[in-house]
Amino acid sequence: MYSTGFMNCSPDIKKYFSPEESQRLATELGRCLANYYTECQAKSGRTVPPLTPNAYIQMADEAMSLGGQDSAKPSALRFAELATMALTYGHHLHDPRYMGHQVPPVVPASALFDVLGRAANQGAAVFEMAPFGTAVEKAVVNALGELIGWAPGTFAGIGTHGGTLANVTALLAARNIRYGNSWTDGVAAKGGLKPAIMTSSDSHYCIARACGILGIGTAQLIKVPIDKEHRMDLAQARELLRTSRDQGLDVFAIVGSACTTPTGSFDDLAGIARIAQEHKIWFHVDGAHGASFLFSEKHRHLVAGIEHADSITWDAHKMLFVPALCTYLFYKNARHSWEAFAQDAPYLFDPNDPTGLAEFDGGLRTFECTKGTLSLGLWGIWSLYGKEFIASLIDRAMASTKKMFELVQNAPDFEVAHVPQCNILCFRHVPANSNLDSQGLSNLQQKIRTQIVNDGNWYITGTRLDGSYWLRVTVINPLTTEEHLAGLLDAIRQTKN
């Protein structure tokens, strides 16, 4: 039944788990990353490789089919080939001509700290499975909570995999608190009123998604119109709340955006807080992008009032320049963090554990049962380079965006959609003598965006505002200079449409 060789590990296993192998490959990793960053910064290559999904799938597939076939080739050499393939055909966020999504070129060190938790495979949902990884999360949460302005020991924060998950978890907690039996009995109308959530029409699509997931129904999401500055119109919010019961709705939560995705606009959080308090409803802030401005003395006014929120979503993988995914969900009242889930897993969690370790087990408060140590990247760059360095990246992104706004505004053949509140700006190209109507301009921007991305040298996105398509940049790369900003406008002018 047991092979006589059982005591001896196979040579392959010994070799591939050997300390020497990991050191060899890590050295290659360093070489490959240095080459990659050098190429990105030289801005000689493409920001986005040609978009040919099937070609890449075939490439990835062929690599797998060759796995273990060529044992004569040193594994470090093969590793370097594969790593170079993965980097070359990726999206080059570290190219200063990248001005696309709300995903940053990370501080390179953050990824190297991040790998520690993976190489040692720490499971951060249970203290015992990741003692230091769990402690790092607590230390980071304490530091971020202090920036929010909350007193130590009064609030709770948990790391989770992404802003959507954090938003859904917060609204699940709010649902369970308002409807005490919804976890066990299911969601149901109460006194003839259906549970409902209020947010602005420009809030992230995952708020509607939360309604669909949590059994509330997307039809029970009240979308308050936005004002001229793309913020939730608070007068209309009050009015909609006033009439909601007549519509058969029981609004139990209101979600403020800090900021919105299309235009980077910040809702008036202090104003929403007052409404929430008056109506005794849960106040959640989706601060996925914007909570990070708390790091900046110059810009933290953008999220004034965030400290009144019952819960806050904060993506470190956006404006804190660490790899995706690294999100924090905060609860002003520490006890509320236990309300989203209520479970029993005896082999893992023992709430009566005499050692007192249960309070450090995050798994009863997150979707994830096994969870990666997602805080090592942020903890690492904070500990290595300091908090002020992170703040300087935020301030630089803001300054660059203002510069971009100035350039666009001063260019006769461009038009801005809004004054940027943070580092997101929507604008469009209006060629001289084009005589295009609104629909024509909309079509033109879409063509420009497609061509820019297909050309591959620059990277921008687009979005619809009031039905029209606009070009959209998130200025987020600290290596982007005025030269690049002006260069983008020229590149847009030169597109053939």
User: Interface residues for its own copies in 203-222 (CB under 8 A)?
Assistant: 204-206, 208-209, 211-220
| Site of tokens 């706004």 | 405
CB 236, min distance to its own copies, A: 22
CB 223, min distance to its own copies, A: 12
Nearer to its own copies, 234 or 486 (CB): 486
Nearer to its own copies, 290 or 478 (CB): 478
CB 390, min distance to its own copies, A: 9
Site string for its own copies, 161-180 (x = CB under 8 A): xxxxx--x---x--------
CB 386, min distance to its own copies, A: 2
Nearer to its own copies, 168 or 273 (CB): 168
CB 396, min distance to its own copies, A: 7
Member of 43, 99, 129, 273 binding its own copies (CB under 8 A): 129
118 is a contact residue toward its own copies (CB under 8 A): yes
CB 237, min distance to its own copies, A: 22
30 is a contact residue toward its own copies (CB under 8 A): yes
- Map the footprint of its own copies across residues 436-495, applying CB under 8 A: 450, 453, 461-464, 472, 478-479, 481-483
CB 221, min distance to its own copies, A: 10
Distances in Å between the Cα of 101 and the Cα atoms of 53, 98, 312, 449, 471 are 20, 9, 22, 13, 12
Site string for its own copies, 392-431 (x = CB under 8 A): xx--x--xx-xx--x-------------------------
Nearer to its own copies, 89 or 338 (CB): 89
- Map the footprint of its own copies across residues 243-262, applying CB under 8 A: 261-262
Nearer to its own copies, 235 or 389 (CB): 389
358 is a contact residue toward its own copies (CB under 8 A): no
94 is a contact residue toward its own copies (CB under 8 A): yes
Nearer to its own copies, 273 or 390 (CB): 390
What HEC string does the chain produce?
CCCHHHHCCCHHHHHHCCHHHHHHHHHHHHHHHHHHHHHHHHCCCCCCCCCCHHHHHHHHHHHHHCCCCCCCCCHHHHHHHHHHHHHHCCCCCCCCCECCCCCCCCCHHHHHHHHHHHHCCCCCCCHHHCHHHHHHHHHHHHHHHHHHCCCCCCCEEEEECCHHHHHHHHHHHHHHHHCCCHHHHCCCCECCEEEEEEEECCCCHHHHHHHHHCCCCHHHEEEECECCCCCECHHHHHHHHHHHCCCCEEEEEEEEEECCCCCCCECCHHHHHHHHHHHCCEEEEECCCCHHHHHCCCCHHHHCCHHHCCEEEEEHHHHCCCCCCCEEEEECCHHHHHCCCCCCCCCCCCCCCCCCCHHHCHHHCCCCCCCCCCCHHHHHHHHHHCHHHHHHHHHHHHHHHHHHHHHHHHCCCEEECCCCCCCEEEEEECCCCCCCCHHHHHHHHHHHHHHHHHHCCCECEEEEECCEEEEEEECCCCCCCHHHHHHHHHHHHCCCC
Side-by-side strand order, sheet with 424-429 = 414-416, 424-429, 468-474, 461-465
Stretch of residues binding its own copies (CB under 8 A), selected from 28-36, 151-159, 242-250, 266-274: 28-36
146 is a contact residue toward its own copies (CB under 8 A): no
CB 33, min distance to its own copies, A: 5
36 is a contact residue toward its own copies (CB under 8 A): yes
CB 135, min distance to its own copies, A: 3
202 is a contact residue toward its own copies (CB under 8 A): no
CB 261, min distance to its own copies, A: 6
Member of 44, 59, 278, 301 binding its own copies (CB under 8 A): 59
Member of 44, 277, 370, 434 binding its own copies (CB under 8 A): 370
